[in-house]
Chain A
Amino acid sequence: MIRYVARRLLTSIPVLFGVTLITFTLMHFTAGSYIPGATGSPTLTPADVTRIRDNLGLDRPLVTQYADWVGIGQALKSVGLQGVLPDNNNVEPGLLQGDFGRSLIDGQTVLSAIHDRLPNTLELSVTGLLLGLLIAVPVGVLSARFRGRWIDQGLTILSVAGFAIPEFWFCLLLILLFSVSFHAWGLPWLPASGATSAIGGGGLVDRIEHLLMPAAVIAALYASQWSRFIRSSMIEALSQDYIRTARAKGMKEGRVVYIHALRNAIVSLITLIGLELPDLVSGTLVVEVVFSWPGIGFLTYQKALAYDYTMVLGIVVFVGVLVVLGNLLADVLYGIADPRVRYS
């Protein structure tokens, strides 16, 4: 087990290296002619441009810029090998030093920005995930028990619809109903943006009011995917020999379904949830933007529009690390939950 985890961690190093290469290449293209905050300024002389670009180190050799960004530059310097790379005079810490780079515009480190926004995003995505599970498990079990009957067909239609509905449009419809129309009809309405009210906000009720609609959208997405999945793994579980045995020895149907079959059906769901872990951070972007939810996704969107690419790329790499760890965690959990799985 430990050897398996160690080997997986080792093989993930080149993958993460590849992620930094892709993102760096994109960054380089974007940065090619870019000076932060100065686009179109009439008083800017060519000398200024050179100076700013020089300060940011945008005109150094590519290898050096990359090494710097990743943090190899500084690592080399600390062991006295800075001469290996041409023009390596940067002292900024890089990705390896742990703060994932700095904003081009306000100098904030990516890690501190993530630290500010991550709790909001997790509040939204974890609520959505739990709500989604809460819906998906009973729906999946019901569909499987009454397979082919009207209740199964109805739930199937709902999940097909949930899977095809454009996320942002669903958000808009909810806002239209619960904020705009409810307000117009004089009913208690829900706030359509932010995580708390600007004035006097922050209490528990206030937070929940803001959370309801965006979390419902995310829950609906998860529920429509997972209920199908639970349905088919329940159907498979219910056809196993141990279920026949349980029924044969006179066990109550409810116990057979909920204790014997469901436990086994849930095993495969664990992998699926593990694969969603990185999505807890990056998957809510569209919903966050529609609801102006102050999370990682909204931050990335705003920073991208402002051309603050070091910030965006830092976040991308951060989420990349989460993806790799999430996949690993999913595999490990799967092995713990189902001892029939052998690591090789």
Chain B
Amino acid sequence: MAQTIESAGPGGTRPIGQGRPYYGFWRQSWRSFRANRIGMISAAILIFFMFIALIAPLISHFVTHFTATAQDLNNTFASPSHQHLLGSDELGRDTLTRLVYGARASLGIGFLTVAIALTIGVSVGLVASYFGGIVDDLLMRLVDVVLATPAIFLYILMAILFRPSPIAFPFIIASVSWAPLARLVRAEGLTLRSREFMLATQSIGAGHARLILRHLLPNSIPLVIVAASLRLGQVILIEAALDYLGLGVQPPTPTWGNMLSNAEIYFSHSVWLVVLPGIAIFLTVIATNLLGNALRDVFDPWQSKH
């Protein structure tokens, strides 16, 4: 009896056989995601970092009592103590405050980059797979060109060229990292394109825009979510590396990458300065990667159980 009540919820009332009720794709996915321990832990870590990033000013005000750029020249290279919970750097700036603001930069830039890359990549991939022919050829050659250019060199060139602000930076990284996404979405689009429902929708008179936006797009969303999650980790790594090299977000603004820029110099006496920002990056990237894998298992239970 409970079954019939549950299956009458939103998202479909179609019972499969006589056994389990049919929940709808998203609800079913959520259920199997909830059962995925690694996925849930990763999501929790990510959400924790995002929360920290959001309340950075509050932490700075109520917990550490320092702003991210406030110098405390009497207390340089302080060890973790009551005054500086995670120690301080060469100008006496509070490490915890800077880490918390660094989360803002890393995650903010990461999410923005992935959003831009997804917008371009998904549009190009869907349009290429939907129209095929010359449109497909041209767009895919464009993808080939972007993929044939060594990304790290392009980032460096553009970073020098545009002197990236935290807003310009995502555009620089996204201008390259959309290409693999486009290829992925195109492949998915080609498979979807040949399915009967596309033909059926077309035959009742749906236009191109409707077919792409209402039918191709929603059906490729699971794939896109997995790709986005895996890409986020890569983007955070690239961003940190560029910041470290001094080509990314410039110093007074703290990021996990640029906090490590001068770290080598202080090796001998302040190991914490080298270790902490790295751990922050490491944890975030591990969480995004594992989350991506978990989502892939959830959305596509047939593949990759091994």
Contact = CB atoms under 8 A, between A and B. Distances in A.
B37 interface: no
B161 A22 contact: no
B237 interface: yes
Contacts of B147: 323
A168 B267 contact: no
B144 A282 contact: no
A172 B282 contact: no
Interface stretch (A42-50, A117-125, A300-308): A300-308
A169 interface: yes
Interface string B142-154: 1011111110111
A319 B144 CA distance: 14
Contacts of A285: 152-153, 156
Interface in A252-285: 278, 281-283, 285
Interface in A23-53: 23, 26, 29-30
A126 interface: no
A316 interface: yes
Interface in B132-191: 141-142, 144-150, 152-154, 156-158, 160-161
A19 B282 contact: no
Majority SS at the chain B contact face? helix
Pick from B148, B152, B286, B304 the residue with the most CB of A within 10 Å. Answer: B148
A35 to B, nearest CB: 16
B285 A282 contact: no
Interface in A146-191: 147, 160-161, 163-169, 172-173, 175-176, 180, 184
A315 interface: yes
Interface in B98-152: 141-142, 144-150, 152
Interface stretch (B86-94, B193-201, B203-211, B240-248): B240-248
Interface string A40-79: 0000000000000000000000000000000000000000
A315 B153 CA distance: 9
Q: Is the interface on chain B under 10, 10 to 19, 20 to 34, or 35 or more residues?
A: 35 or more
B249 interface: no
Contacts of B153: 282, 285, 300, 304, 312, 315-316, 319
Given A160-B286, A160-B290, A175-B267, A23 B274 contact: no
Q: Is the interface on chain A under 10, 10 to 19, 20 to 34, or 35 or more residues?
A: 35 or more
Contacts of B145: 15, 18-19, 21-22
A203 interface: no
A232 B296 CA distance: 15
Nearest to B243: A168
Contact of B161 (A14, A18, A29, A168): A29
A289 interface: yes
A264 to B, nearest CB: 16
A176 B149 contact: no
A317 to B, nearest CB: 9
B274 A307 contact: no
Contacts of B233: 164
B134 to A, nearest CB: 13
A283 B141 CA distance: 23
A19 B145 CA distance: 6
A320 interface: yes
Contacts of B271: 176
A323 B152 CA distance: 14
B306 to A, nearest CB: 5
A316 B278 contact: no
B267 A316 contact: no
A235 interface: yes
Contact of B150 (A15, A147, A320): A320
B6 interface: no
A313 B149 CA distance: 10
Interface string B246-288: 0000000000000010011001100100110110011001100
A161 B141 CA distance: 35
B229 interface: no
B289 interface: yes
A340 to B, nearest CB: 21
A131 interface: no
A169 B150 contact: no
A15 B138 CA distance: 11
A113 interface: no
A16 interface: yes
B278 A173 contact: yes
Contacts of A165: 282, 285
Contacts of B160: 30, 304-305, 307
Given A166-B237, A285-B152, A30 B141 contact: no
A246 interface: no
Closest CB pairs A-B (n = 3): A18-B145, A169-B278, A282-B150
18 contacts: A15-B144, A26-B161, A30-B160, A30-B161, A160-B289, A160-B290, A164-B233, A164-B286, A167-B241, A281-B150, A282-B150, A285-B153, A285-B156, A304-B160, A305-B160, A313-B157, A320-B150, A323-B148
Given A164-B289, A165-B285, 8 more contacts: A22-B146, A29-B161, A172-B274, A173-B275, A282-B150, A312-B153, A313-B157, A320-B148
